[in-house]
Structure 1
């Protein structure tokens, strides 16, 4: 006695498998979004650097630990 595993639970009809494939393709198509631009003009040229403020308490603590927060 031999057993051959099928890719589906039961042997589905070709029409049902085609319908499943079309539904899956519709879901994937709906989820697609355009790729980001790689053009230089689409990005800002001057990006300000973030500033980090060190509180007076943190500066005193760093000084006590001999750290330099300049």
Structure 2
């Protein structure tokens, strides 16, 4: 193999890498991608303003029976 990638060499653009992968997949007769472009339209937002400021943590209740069972099993979960 004659191709040698140097450590300081910049990678190609995302579009070029995607086209390279698509060309390789078509040459190898790989199946179509499982994620369709239409599915990407319904992706939830990751914008900071779209999330609530405070998220309450769920409360965990331990009944007496559960505590007794854990004590009998000698579960020391610290």
Which protein, 1 or 2, shows the higher relative CO under an 8 Å CA cutoff with sep ≥ 6?
A: 1
Instruction: Please tell me the TM-score bracket, short chain as reference.
Output: 0.3 to 0.5
Higher normalized helix content (fraction of residues): 1
Q: Of the two, which has the highest radius of gyration?
A: 1
Task: Give the structure-1-normalised TM-score.
Answer: 0.44
